Amino acid sequence: MIITNVTTIEQTIAQACHDAARRREDVQEIVVTKKRTQGEIQEMYDLGFRHFAENRVDKLLMRQQEFPQEDIVWHLIGPLQSRKVKDIINKVEYFHALDRLSIAKEINKRAEHCVKCFLEVNISGEVTKHGFSADEVGDVLTQLQQYEHIEVIGLMTMAPFEATKEEIDSYFSQLKALRDNIMKSQANSSCKYLSMGMSNDYPLAIKAGATHIRIGTAWFK
């Protein structure tokens, strides 16, 4: 039942924050709605959740028709194709998967507001994963400064599906170290948040410093 899952997840988040000596309010949970029914999402809304995410543009647009409530904060968390930027970019507050410069250019051209973006980093180096390599990030941030409609607020990563707990832990810690380096070397950088952690690994992510956790299946199982 959703309410039971919500209670369990909340306790797990609170415990992970406690273990890591972090404040609960510094971790924003995002409800990933892909594959869920309208009724399930409505239940999450009624329970007070306001941050919702989809990984596909068409799906997100559909969800916004189903849920026109003004107080919902929409996150696009999946890869974006250039030709779809204009359809979606003025309808979301956050984009978590900025993974190439060409997409940044298109966002800047089409956006009518400043889009809060996370740079996707391929920390694991897995060939099938999207994202910049850790080595590229500093340079990319500098290049993105020319875009007035893009604010890079943090870094995002996804652990490989088959990774062990130790590997996941290492990937999350590496992303945090990268963020810490940026904050140190680029004074006034807005790149301070970490979007990492999904249903299977969000407690590890919180312990490693995640500020935005993207949970889907665990709410609904």
Using CB under 6 A, list all residues that contact ligand PLP: 32, 34, 55, 77-78, 158, 198-200, 214-218
Sign of the CA dihedral with 28 first, then 33, 38, and 40 last: negative
By beta-carbon proximity to ligand PLP, the closer residue of 106 and 201 is 201
Q: Which is nearer to ligand PLP, 191 or 215 (CB)?
A: 215
How crowded is the C-beta side of 26, counted as CA atoms within 13 Å?
Answer: 16
Q: How far is the CB of 8 from ligand PLP (least distance, A)?
A: 14
**189 or 217: CB nearest ligand PLP:** 217
Alpha helices in 20-66 (DSSP H): 38-46, 57-66
Q: Report in angstroms how near the CB of residue 54 gets to ligand PLP at its nearest.
A: 9
Distance CA 200, CA 206 (A): 12
Q: Which is nearer to ligand PLP, 12 or 186 (CB)?
A: 12
Q: How far is the CB of 201 from ligand PLP (least distance, A)?
A: 9
The residue number with the shortest CB distance to ligand PLP is 216
> What is the rounded distance in angstroms from the CA atom of residue 179 to the CA atom of residue 152?
12
d(Cα 207, Cα 143) in Å, to the nearest integer? 31
Q: Which SS3 state, helix, strand or coil, does residue 114 take?
A: coil
- The gap between the terminal CA atoms of the chain, to the nearest Å, is 7
Minimum distance between the CB of residue 58 and ligand PLP, rounded to whole angstroms?
Answer: 14
Residue whose C-alpha is closest to residue 118's, from 90, 96, 144, 133:
96
Closer to ligand PLP by Cβ: residue 54 or 106? 54
Question: CB 56 → ligand PLP: shortest distance, Å?
Answer: 9
How far is residue 6 CA from its own chain's centroid? 19
